[in-house]
Chain A
Amino acid sequence: EVQLVESGGGLVQPGGSLRLSCAASGFTFSSYWMSWVRQAPGKGLEWVANIKQDGSEKYYVDSVKGRFTISRDNAKNSLYLQMNSLRAEDTAVYYCARDRIAVAGTWYFDLWGRGTLVTVSS
């Protein structure tokens, strides 16, 4: 079965760190760009970061630059998000998503995990 399964969410204090993981199965993980997308409680979707197949290119939303790091391990079919200096506004469900190339040479997301909740609070 083609699927993405996130883990690693939880409660963390402001200023703390957390590492999210995403396990991919049912497809050739190393052939795809991958993204993290988040959704604050009761709010809309926000793209967070993505990473090229070999990890050589990474892009981030402005609000997490310098605090979050996306990485991957193709041998383990896994995607990661290291989150440092966490803030209350980072509280959200974090989804792992598979990127696909659009006609215009950009990306959309055709496969999503069920998400993992990160709560930043004292």
Chain B
Amino acid sequence: SYVLTQPPSVSVAPGQTARITCGGNNIGSKSVHWYQQKPGQAPVLVVYDDSDRPSGIPERFSGSNSGNTATLTISRVEAGDEADYYCQVWDSSSDQGVFGGGTKLTVL
């Protein structure tokens, strides 16, 4: 089955830029989606189709996808962005949804 690999943690100072990666075999050929999950809450979609934002998500959240790596970029990081972030694709070869292991973003 398809595997997505994320770093367990990323730390960034307020106002700086956070980049969270999601690795997968030829992931650039797939649509990648990103979710934010704060403690005790349900996940929230923040980026879909590699780089599109749902309504209500700040422009500070952006995404890219090429080759074997997709990246979620959070500009001008705020304390409220501290959360776990998950990437997700659909594996058409097995007809199953796949999530990365998640990355804990810490705002220093």
Chain A interfacial positions (CB closer than 8 Å to B): 35, 37, 44-47, 50, 59-62, 95, 100, 102-110, 112-115
Q: Is the CB of B99 within 8 A of A47?
A: yes
- The answer to whether B3 has its CB under 8 Å from any CB of chain A is no
Q: Give Cα A67 to B42, complex, Å.
A: 25
- Asked if B61 CB lies within 8 Å of chain A CBs, one says no
A-B contact pairs, 28 of them (CB 8 A): A35-B97, A37-B43, A44-B86, A44-B99, A45-B99, A45-B102, A47-B96, A47-B99, A60-B96, A61-B96, A62-B1, A62-B94, A95-B42, A103-B31, A103-B49, A103-B50, A104-B30, A104-B90, A104-B92, A106-B30, A106-B31, A106-B89, A106-B92, A107-B97, A108-B45, A108-B88, A108-B90, A109-B45
- Rounded to whole Å, the gap between the CB of B99 and the closest CB of chain A is 4
B residues in contact with A108, CB < 8 Å: 31, 33, 45, 48-49, 88, 90
Q: Complex: how many Å from CA A35 to CA B89?
A: 14
B48 near A47 with CB under 8 A, answer: no
> What is the minimal beta-carbon distance from B56 to any residue of chain A, in angstroms?
11
Which residue of A is nearest B52, CB measured?
A103
Closest B residue, CB atoms, query A112:
B42
Contact among A102, A109, A110 for B31, CB-based, below 8 A: A102
* Chain A residues positioned under 8 Å from B101 (CB to CB): 44
Whether B63 is near chain A, meaning CB under 8 Å from some CB there, is no
Cβ A106 vs Cβ B100 within 8 A: no
The answer on a CB contact under 8 Å between B102 and A106 is: no
- Indicate if the CB atoms of B95 and A45 lie closer than 8 Å: no
- Smallest beta-carbon distance B91→chain A, Å: 8
Q: Most chain-B Cβ atoms within 10 A of its Cβ — which of A35, A44, A114?
A: A44
**Cα distance, A113 to B90, chains bound together (Å):** 20
Find out whether the CB atom of A110 lies under 8 angstroms from the CB atom of B102. Answer: no
Return chain B residues, CB-CB under 8 Å to A114. Answer: 41-42
Residue-wise interface mask of B (69-108) relative to A, using a CB-CB cutoff of 8 A (1 in contact, 0 not): 0000000000000001010111010111111111000000
